[in-house]
Amino acid sequence: MVAVFTAGMAVTAPVLARGIDRWRQPPVLYGSASLSAVGYLIAALSAGHPAPLLIGAALAGMGTPRWRPACGRCGQISCRPPT
């Protein structure tokens, strides 16, 4: 399950990062958070059956952006608005 989650994250992390660069963080992160929530919900309701559990883990991984490269830049001083 962890391998499927990580593979889903590895596949979509560059796509999410590029989307964040192009369309800003909020719209992309709202969509990815929704995808991740659906994946976690499917995994939680799978009742131990392997197929839905792996599908849910893949969707949850696909919706999880990597924090540092994609979203961490706004914490830098150069990205903050002047005070």
- pLDDT per position as a tens digit, 59-75: 999 998 776 555 555 55
Which contacts (CB < 8 Å, 24+ apart) does range 3-10 have? 4/54, 4/57, 4/58, 4/61, 5/57, 5/58, 5/60, 5/61, 5/64, 6/61, 7/58, 7/61, 8/57, 8/58, 8/59, 8/60, 8/61, 8/62, 8/64, 9/61, 9/62, 9/64, 9/66
What does the pLDDT average to over 36-54? 94
Across the chain, mean pLDDT equals 84
Q: Which domain holds residue 28?
A: 2-79
Which stretch of 38-47, 58-67, 73-82 has the lowest confidence by average pLDDT? 73-82
Domain count of the fold of the chain: 1
Global pTM reads 0.76
pLDDT at 29: 87
Q: Would the pLDDT of 82 be above 80?
A: no
